[in-house]
Amino acid sequence: MTAGGHLPDTCVMQQLQHISIVSDSARDCSAEILEAVPLVMRFIRSQMRRHRGSDLSVPQFRALVYLSRSPGISLSALADFLALSLPATSRLVEGLVRRSLVDRRIPSGNRRLVALSVNAHGRRIICAAREATERRLAEVVASLRSDERAAIQRGLRALRGGFSPKRCGTDSQRYT
């Protein structure tokens, strides 16, 4: 990397934002994904955090979103996702339960397991943040031509199908 934080021009990984030629090679496509997805995700994360509510920490909000996508998971699965210790995750969840955002239940047949789920109040917070983020994202995307927006939609649908857990053999929920 250069002092300005950019890749040198001689780097094998090309700085694709400067390339206007479209290629159908898998390697060029994967390089483009590696360039574009982090930029888009950074924008989405900043918007979600901005609209999460000032009384929620980023880890608490991440926990809510993950629990909304994986209802009934265990404390250890949540700790693994958040990269926190079990005691730290337990304290985080306790705060969410006290604020009536998350429900804990003990499934019948396994009294040692505690299943965690986002409740209606928690879902409303997530939905409000998502809707505000979607509105802001739509403002940015509106500056693109209609054929570019259509191409993005087609590409994203193809990516979603290509990265399904069944197709690529990974736990896609883990990386949300």
Q: Which domains does the chain have, with CATH numbers?
A: 1-50 (no CATH), 56-143 (1.10.10.10)
What pLDDT score was predicted for residue 170?
58
pLDDT < 70 regions, the chain: 1-21, 168-176
Q: What local confidence, expressed as pLDDT, does residue 133 receive?
A: 92
Q: What is the pLDDT of residue 145?
A: 95
Strand partners, 105: 115
| pTM across the whole model | 0.67
How confident is the model at residue 20, as a pLDDT?
59
pLDDT at 174: 44
| pLDDT at site 17 | 46
